[in-house]
Amino acid sequence: MRKILLASALLLLLASQAFSITPVYTCGFECGVSGAHWTTGLGSSFSTSSPISGTRSLAVTTSGGNAFADTVLTFSGGVYVYRFKVNFSVLPNSVVMLAGIKNAGAYFNSADGKIYAGTLNTELGATGVTVSTSTTYYVDVRVNSSANPWLVDVQVSGAACGQRSTAAGADTGASAVRMGFAINTTTATATFDDFTLSTTSADYPIGDGFVNQFIPASDGTHNVAGAADFQRTLTGTDILNATTTAFQLIDDIPLESGASVDWINMIAPPNATDYVECIFGPAPGISTPTSAPRAVEVIAGIHQAGTGTGNMEIRLNDNGTTDAVYTATTVAGVTSVVFKRKHYATAPSGGAWTVTSGNGNFNNIRVRFGSPAAVDANPDQYLDGIMIEADFPPSSGTPAVRRLLLQNVGQ
């Protein structure tokens, strides 16, 4: 009985910890577009071949060079806590940085086949953790460059590496995260996935988890005044309150880029309260969540009919509480797709995400596309696509959690 009570208490603790982190960025490489979350190239690409989770991962391969991707976003503050997953097909044959910011982070050392905490010029901590091919590892990293010395902590699937301390002046400026094989040339192949980043030191380690994607899967309750307010691309076909297929215009996987094919066309709604609403659902191959996410990243593709100034607003509807993912009033637009994103560590309603009815119910989250207080008439505004990438903690049935239970209550 004591073991059962301890196990139950531990599961409750794990559930509470799922919402104790405050990430600012989450990506499972599901958007599939370079320039949206990550800039790929130089041996890196989005791949649907054997993803670690979801339907896409970052594939990185090189034969005697560097290969990596960089985040489009830069981060500042001097403290960076992140988690990623990696599965090697070919281990690197030199010392390389796997994922780092300001060249500090997780390194692989070919001399002993271990992952280490490292900084700058391949300076490694005292101890590492052995890794092998064809095995998925989750790697937690904390880089603290806010003071001298810099401190780097790394864990590999829960096993701690020796901390690396390097004398260097405080650096709190903005920098991108680099993932793949950097610093030294190498020959290697690996798949990376499930990246989540926080700038809160106490969030280390973020721990195991996975990122899944969600796209518009049905129409919600539109609020359209009448004809020629919202239309399907350039077809002249109106989207009206009775329309049930508007979601099909913005559910693209990967997200559309460059010259878009279809979109929701906002022409001239007479009221700032007019909008087209779509309901998010699991992307093909993804299950409906039964546990709540601990981080939600919204990323949308937009463009305009011309480069003149226009007005648009993309709102997340959290079961009646709305929040602007992106808003623009008299902003000069572009005629090819650009991406806007917003991160939600908590629901727009202010509380924790759930998968039940009421505020924060992730399984009923919606997007509204319309105009802010100043309604738009010209140029036409386009919503090309929108996706959620959500980070979930491991379930109680995963090996990592089972190991933790056994460690605490005995077999």
pLDDT at 360: 96
Structure tokens at 322: 């709305």
* Neighbouring-strand partners of residue 303: 382
Q: Which pLDDT does position 376 carry in this prediction?
A: 84
- pLDDT at position 401: 41
What percentage of the chain exceeds 70 in pLDDT? 91
Structure tokens at 253: 């996987």
Predicted confidence band of residue 161 (pLDDT cuts 50, 70, 90): very high
- For the cut 50, the answer to whether the pLDDT of residue 12 exceeds it is no
CATH topology of domain 36-208: Jelly Rolls (2.60.120)
pLDDT at 226 over 70: yes
pLDDT at 17 over 50: no
In this predicted structure, what is the pLDDT of residue 122?
81
Q: Where are the beta strands (DSSP E) in 175-320?
A: 177-198, 210-219, 230-232, 264-266, 275-282, 295-304, 309-318
* pLDDT of res. 407: 40
Q: Where in the chain is the domain with CATH 2.60.120.200?
A: 36-208
Two structure tokens written together for 221: 């309750």
Count the alpha carbons within 13 Å of 71 in the hemisphere toward its beta carbon.
Answer: 22
Please give the share of the chain, as a percent, with pLDDT higher than 90: 87
Per-residue three-class SS string for 323-377: EEEEEEEEEECCCCCEEEEEEECCCCCCCCCECCCCCCEHHHCEEEEECCCCCCC
Is the pLDDT assigned to residue 11 strictly greater than 60?
A: no
Predicted confidence (pLDDT) at residue 8 exceeds the cutoff of 70: no
Cα–Cα nearest to 186, from 269, 282, 90: 90
Give the number of other Cβ atoms within 10 Å of residue 268's Cβ: 15
Q: What angle do CA 139, 140, 146 make, to 5 degrees?
A: 140
Structure tokens at 235: 């077809």
Distance between CA atoms of 243 and 269, rounded to whole angstroms? 16
Q: Return the exposure string of 101-139: e unless at least 16 CB atoms fall within 10 Å of the residue's CB, then b.
A: bbbbbbbbbbeebbbbbbbbebbbbeebbebeeeeebbb
pLDDT value at position 121? 73
The whole-number pLDDT of residue 374 equals: 84
Q: Is the pLDDT of residue 4 over 70?
A: no
Summary mean pLDDT of the chain:
91
Q: Is the pLDDT of residue 10 over 50?
A: no
pLDDT for residue 395: 75
- Give me 43's structure tokens: 């041996």
Each residue of 272-328: pLDDT tens digit?
A: 999 999 999 999 999 999 999 999 999 999 999 999 999 999 999 999 999 999 999
CATH 2.60.120 fits 213-392, yes or no: yes
Flag whether pLDDT at 405 surpasses 70. Answer: no
Instruction: Please tell me the predicted confidence (pLDDT) of residue 9.
Output: 41
Q: Is-contact 311 381, C-beta < 8 A?
A: yes
pLDDT at residue 124 tops 60: yes
pLDDT in tens, 73-116: 999 999 999 999 999 999 999 999 999 999 999 999 999 999 99
Burial (CB count within 10 angstroms: exposed 0-12, middle 13-18, buried 19+), residue 265: buried
pLDDT above 80: residue 220: yes
Q: What is the DSSP letter of 302?
A: E
pLDDT computed for residue 181 by the predictor: 98
**Residue range 228-245: mean pLDDT, rounded:** 97
Confidence band (pLDDT; 50, 70, 90) for 402?
Answer: very low
Residue with the two structure tokens 């060249």: 103
pLDDT for res 219: 98
Query: Which CA distances in Å does 197 have to 79, 317, 362?
Result: 10, 24, 21
Residue 138 φ then ψ, to 5°? -105, 135
